[in-house]
Structure 1
Amino acid sequence: MSSARRYDIDWIRVIAIGLLLVYHVAIGFQAWGVMIGFITSDKTWDSLWVPMTMLNVWRIPLLFFVSGMGVYYALRNRSWKELMAERAGRILLPFFFGAIAIVPIHVYLWQRYYHLNTAYTPNPAHLWFLGNIFVYVVVLSPLFFYLKRNENGPLARAIKWVMSNPLGILLVMAAFIVEAWILDPRPYEMYAMTWHGFFLGLLAFLAGFCFVLSGDGFWEMIKKWRWLFLLTAAILFTLRLVHFKLNTPFYLLVAESHCWIISVFAFGYTYLNRPGKALRYLSEAAYPVYILHMIFLYTASWLIFPLDVAVPLQFIMVLLFTGVGCFAVYELVIRRVNVIRPLFGLKRK
């Protein structure tokens, strides 16, 4: 297996988590946000949802693709038992800790803000996809270890041959179209704690592993065609917004989603595959910050939404409060207290 570290994949993971934070802040400015458990402002900002609509079809699938890529590298020097132990520590422990100790705090803030009866409410909430990822590791690890032991075998060679051709991307899209056709999710973007989200994530996790397994053939192919993928994504999004009025057929949503995702990987591979101090810091901080961010988002919403200021300024204030609060706790507590680090998916120092 390739031993070269891919810094672009680390950057993409950091960027994906950053986009999720921005997305969650934006929900607070939509009137329907309260129906999915967010504190919402009385001053809505409808136009803000246009770029969020663009993000919505690929932000979560991108994380599953990246997670599958990460398992490829995790297999390099690990046995099956070592992989299970490492993933349990990195995924399951933060998942359960977050569900019982982090999520109930922001649920409590939501209950208090809306003058509801307060109760201790453990649940996965925004951490739902961590449970999915661990299941994918368990289910797919026999196939992954087979490919690891037989990287020059017929199955691995077939995957590399298919993925080195643009038509291979169409085959990947076809699998996602079949998933949507069978499950008929409405809306398509409803991933959290649904069978659609589970099977879409499973396909993306598997595809991400195969992308990295395919080596330079895949990466050079998407680099060559990166502008076509980006243009196609932009055209499909415009059609979704203008022509279909967001009531787009599943096959076009899948095509748009994958064109955005492949564009991100292609431009990342071209421009982001380099190390640096910022990447080292953010790569470790991203996971704890995401686990924490809903507490600070709800606190910021409680404090800032009643202020008599313009909506765009409220958005910036909430985003800054959330980001600064999360990084302050990470820097001053999580990063430095050894016993706490594993609870947020970090190795002990």
Structure 2
Amino acid sequence: MPSTAMPSTASIPDRRYDLDWIRVGAFFLLILYHVGMFYVPWEWHVKSPHPVEVLEPLMMLTNPWRLTLLFLVSGAATRFMADKTTVGKLTGARAARLLPPLLFAVFVIVPPQSYYQVVEYIAGHPGTSLTVDNFWLRYVTASGHWCSPAGCLITPTYNHMWFVAYLFIYTLVLAALLLAWRRLGEHLQAGVERALKGVGLVVWPVLFLGLLRGTLYVRYGETHALVGDYYVHAVSFSAFLLGFGLAKSDVLRERLIAARWPALVVAIGAYAGWAAFAWIYRGDTPIPPTGLKLVMRFVHAADTWCAIVAILGFGAKHLNRGGPALRYLTLGVFPFYLIHQTLIVVAAHHLAKLGLPQPLEAAILIVLTFAGCFATYEIVRRIPGVRVLFGLKGQPPVEASRPPAFA
């Protein structure tokens, strides 16, 4: 008879340094991605007057997998928390960590993004009736009436903080599941270990993601509006639960390490195919054949999952050490995420007016964004009453005021 014993987690420490490094790296890539959004022709809050179309394939390098990976890593971090405390304390800790920064962002950090979005629209459409007088008051009272033929700017809004809002909702759902099924993590781990073995490590997730891409995405797209965002919820919550299940699995860790090189090769090939397809059929002109679109949904899925497998595998193999640098950056990720997009929007809007060579402008924008992130972190981590607004509630004051020592 098959064994019914629960998976062993005895050799897994209370923290996975590889996942911490991956989380830091993914958020840093997110910052670079949002800098790119200023230049790529895709719609965004503010835009360069000289869009760079050839930047699109580079942007697609991380587009399919970056946020799915972050939800997976968040699920893994939640597993370590859940196994050390009660469901009530887990929920309270997550609420205290996520809600104050989310509300602070909606009413303080995000409004400049909306302000410059309206300003640029007015500048691009002379004679428009839109105005920005009493902007913040109109923003928070949803009375701006900033509308264009493409639609209206709905405020207040969370913009890039949608990730935090979704993460909090997923935590609440997980808490409800844990109340009904306290050993959920162990059972998820056992189920994932049974499913993700051999070719199943790649085949089942790719099929799952491809089917979601071919059904929910086709009908609902991606909105980040919380309600009705069925495709994003299906992918992101599944990744969150998968991370919760695999966080403490030695078996999966070894499988990911073994699969890292083949997964990388497949991910690169899938990226090349997906980027070429998106480039050739950008703007839906010409219209791609139906059969090709269906195939590409699974190519996109292969890119997403195989990139994640490769990153997790290489991380588990090579990023298994902590240290002062990792502690510093791990704590800094949340403040960086909170402030980075507003820094990009404000700096990019004003840099564009200087007429600098575009490569120089982009380099300055990247430097200013990272410098602003580090400066913000260094300031807020030393102020007890402000730390909670930047997601640093759990950081002891003595650690907050101590300068980093890099080994």
TM-score, reference length from structure 2: 0.78
- Residue in structure 1 matched with residue 319 of structure 2 by the alignment: 272
The question of 1:345 aligning with 2:391 is answered yes
- Residue in structure 2 matched with residue 336 of structure 1 by the alignment: 382
- TM-superposed CA distance for 1:64, in Å, is 0.9
- TM-superposed CA distance for 1:307, in Å, is 2.3
- Residue in structure 2 matched with residue 220 of structure 1 by the alignment: 254
Q: 1:230 to 1:144 in 2, by over 3 A?
A: farther
- Residue in structure 2 matched with residue 124 of structure 1 by the alignment: 158
The one-letter code matched in structure 2 to 1:167 is G
The question of 1:138 aligning with 2:166 is answered no
CA contact (8 A) 1:13 1:63 kept: yes
CA contact (8 A) 1:223 1:270 kept: yes
CA contact (8 A) 2:178 2:184 kept: no
CA contact (8 A) 2:71 2:240 kept: yes
| Aligned residue among 351, 355, 361 for 1:308 | 355
- TM-superposed CA distance for 1:298, in Å, is 1.6
- Residue in structure 2 matched with residue 291 of structure 1 by the alignment: 338
Give distance in 1, aligned partners of 2:71 and 2:171.
11
CA contact (8 A) 1:165 1:218 kept: no
CA contact (8 A) 2:91 2:172 kept: yes
Q: 1:212 to 1:148 in 2, by over 3 A?
A: farther
- TM-superposed CA distance for 1:297, in Å, is 0.8
The one-letter code matched in structure 2 to 1:131 is A
CA contact (8 A) 1:166 1:221 kept: no
The question of 1:199 aligning with 2:234 is answered yes
| Aligned residue among 56, 59, 68 for 1:52 | 59
- Residue in structure 2 matched with residue 82 of structure 1 by the alignment: 89
TM-score, reference length from structure 1: 0.90
Q: Where does 1:87-102 land on structure 2 (aligned, <5 Å)?
A: 87-102=94-109
- Percentage of pairs with the same residue: 30
5+ residue gaps, structure 1, are none
Aligned residues: 342
| Aligned residue among 193, 214, 217 for 1:184 | 217
Give distance in 1, aligned partners of 2:37 and 2:199.
36
- Deviations 1:27-67 (CA, angstroms, capped at 9, x unpaired): 1112333xx3x211112222222211121111111111111
- Of 129-138 and 173-182, deviating more is 173-182
| Aligned residue among 25, 29, 53 for 1:15 | 25
- Residue in structure 1 matched with residue 38 of structure 2 by the alignment: 28
- TM-superposed CA distance for 1:156, in Å, is 4.6
CA contact (8 A) 2:91 2:175 kept: no
The one-letter code matched in structure 1 to 2:275 is L
- TM-superposed CA distance for 1:302, in Å, is 2.2
- Deviations 1:184-215 (CA, angstroms, capped at 9, x unpaired): 33796x363332212211111111112224x1
**Could you say what secondary structure the match of 2:62 adopts?**
helix
Q: Where does 1:228-243 land on structure 2 (aligned, <5 Å)?
A: 228-242=262-276
5+ residue gaps, structure 2, are 1-8, 123-129, 140-154, 282-287, 398-407
- Of 248-257 and 104-113, deviating more is 104-113
Q: 1:15 to 1:151 in 2, by over 3 A?
A: closer
Give distance in 1, aligned partners of 2:90 and 2:182.
13
- TM-superposed CA distance for 1:142, in Å, is 4.5
CA contact (8 A) 2:213 2:297 kept: yes
**Could you say what secondary structure the match of 1:324 adopts?**
helix
CA contact (8 A) 1:163 1:217 kept: no
CA contact (8 A) 1:229 1:262 kept: yes
Give distance in 2, aligned partners of 1:253 and 1:217.
27
Give distance in 1, aligned partners of 2:189 and 2:232.
27
CA contact (8 A) 2:79 2:185 kept: no
- Residue in structure 1 matched with residue 404 of structure 2 by the alignment: none
CA contact (8 A) 1:45 1:311 kept: no
**Could you say what secondary structure the match of 1:305 adopts?**
helix
- TM-superposed CA distance for 1:151, in Å, is 6.6
- TM-superposed CA distance for 1:243, in Å, is 5.4
The question of 1:66 aligning with 2:73 is answered yes
CA contact (8 A) 1:21 1:293 kept: yes
| Aligned residue among 98, 111, 119 for 1:104 | 111
- Residue in structure 2 matched with residue 163 of structure 1 by the alignment: 196
Give distance in 2, aligned partners of 1:222 and 1:338.
41
Give distance in 2, aligned partners of 1:105 and 1:151.
41
- TM-superposed CA distance for 1:299, in Å, is 1.9
Q: 1:41 to 1:216 in 2, by over 3 A?
A: same
- Deviations 1:279-313 (CA, angstroms, capped at 9, x unpaired): 11111111111111122112211221122322222
- Of 265-274 and 107-116, deviating more is 107-116
CA contact (8 A) 1:191 1:198 kept: no
Based on CA coordinates, which of the two structures has the bigger radius of gyration?
A: 2
- Which protein is richer in helix relative to its size? 1
Cα-Cα RMSD: 2.3
The one-letter code matched in structure 2 to 1:202 is F
